Chains A and B, each alone.
Chain A
Amino acid sequence: DTEVTQTPKHLVMGMTNKKSLKCEQHMGHRAMYWYKQKAKKPPELMFVYSYEKLSINESVPSRFSPECPNSSLLNLHLHALQPEDSALYLCASSQDRGWNTEAFFGQGTRLTVV
């Protein structure tokens, strides 16, 4: 199984809502990532979890709250978002060992904030 599965595929939420994005992989990868991709732009790294611990936070606003309940799951909790947060949110995973850094991406959650 070389899949990274993200749910939901599409999400529309109001600025006062609380929602969560979910990501799952069963490749035994110990590094998991959240990226944000705006239209016609490259993916931008938001968070990195290594062995279920947050290792990188790229100065992301606190209205985005990541969580890694176990080595296969990664969540992104959303609260009080702004319309400019509308984007494709991509989860990825990789092995966390030396040279083995090939990242596998999920299909993404297309988020619209209204």
Chain B
Amino acid sequence: GENVEQHPSTLSVQEGDSAVIKCTYSDSASNYFPWYKQELGKRPQLIIDIRSNVGEKKDQRIAVTLNKTAKHFSLHITETQPEDSAVYFCAASAGGADGLTFGKGTHLIIQP
């Protein structure tokens, strides 16, 4: 089955700086890579996703890059704000109704 590794487990950055979270996956059949933000006690919320036919996708301060050859993808958050503090999960799926395999999560802390 799929295995997703995520680093770092904790990331502390100054407000206004950028944050980068990296994931690798093992199954070459995976073709869908979402990122979820989860605040304490709440549901995971999709913040951005990328499909394997695209190398990069951007939505305002958030961007995701995908390197299919190396089987890794990354989340980039620029101009970080206090409300960005949360746990971020990457995930991978082979599509259809395959379900998601999640990385272990990154606790992002934005220091004022």
Contact = CB atoms under 8 A, between A and B. Distances in A.
Interface stretch (B64-72, B78-86, B96-104): B96-104
A94 interface: yes
A33 B99 CA distance: 7
A104 B96 CA distance: 14
Task: Name the prevailing secondary structure of the B interface residues.
Answer: loop
Interface string A59-74: 0000000000000000
Contacts, number: 62
B7 interface: no
Given A42-B89, A42-B105, A99-B32, A105 B44 contact: yes
Contacts of B42: 107
A101 B52 CA distance: 13
B103 A103 contact: no
A81 interface: no
A54 B103 CA distance: 25
Interface string A63-107: 000000000000000000000000000100010111101111111
Contact of B104 (A41, A107, A108): A41
9 contacts: A42-B102, A42-B103, A43-B44, A45-B101, A94-B97, A96-B96, A101-B95, A101-B96, A101-B98
A50 interface: yes
B58 to A, nearest CB: 17
Interface residues of B, number: 23
B108 to A, nearest CB: 14
A17 interface: no
Interface of B: 31-32, 34, 42-46, 49, 51, 89, 93, 95-105
Given A41-B104, A42-B104, A102-B49, A50 B97 contact: yes
B47 to A, nearest CB: 12
A56 B97 CA distance: 9
A31 interface: yes
Contacts of A20: none
A46 B96 CA distance: 16
